[in-house]
Amino acid sequence: MMTLYSGTTCPFSQRCRFVLYEKGMDFQIIDVDLFNKPEDLAVMNPYNQVPVLVERDLILYESNIINEYIDDRFPHPQLMPADPVMRARARLFLFRFEQEMFSHVIAIEKGTQKQADKGRQTIRDALTQIAPVFAKQKYMLGEEFSMLDVAIAPLLWRLDHYGIQLGKQAAPLMKYAERLFSRPAYIDALTASEKVMRK
């Protein structure tokens, strides 16, 4: 059985919980108090961060690596494209999400007022830029739900919580977000702390 060490308010842990529920398999989630981390977390992950996935002798950290492993191990439903070209493109998108959006989450959560404001502005601009895509298609890669949707969902859920206001031009993105939030696996994967982040 897979065990996921997960932060109850951690957007990266939420990605992994979402994938586990989407796959509908047997797993165990251990909630980690981010302000009082267990000592064995630093043994499993040299960066002393969640999420961490443990399966027998395998220990993985970094949400995108964990999720690709789960997807390879339990291919139904498949969340990464089967075609090597599309898969490489998907990985590039995931990398861009980290660089252009999720890298600013830390500034919003832990930085100075100035850093947090800059982070909000950067994320707002990046999201506004991709919003028109969803006027034409249901999900990031077209009609099929994929790992890209999993990756961005925790950020979209936290927009109010992070104080990120999007303009009218982001309406297609907000409709897309509601599609993600209504998935049964998404609802099941939410922690009590995450549920209260959204009004």
What does 11-59 look like in DSSP terms, one character per residue?
Answer: HHHHHHHHHHHHHT--EEEEEE-TTS--HHHHHH-TT--S-EEEETTEE
Q: Is 10 a catalytic residue?
A: yes
Which listed residue (2, 10, 52, 101) is catalytic? 10
Fill in the amino acid letter for 51. Answer: P
Token pair, residue 8, equals 């109850």
What does 82-138 look like in DSSP terms, one character per residue?
Answer: SSHHHHHHHHHHHHHHHHHTGGGHHHHHHS-HHHHHHHHHHHHHHHHHHTTHHHH-S
* Cβ-contact 101, 155 below 8 angstroms: yes
* Cβ-contact 162, 198 below 8 angstroms: no
Active site residues: 10
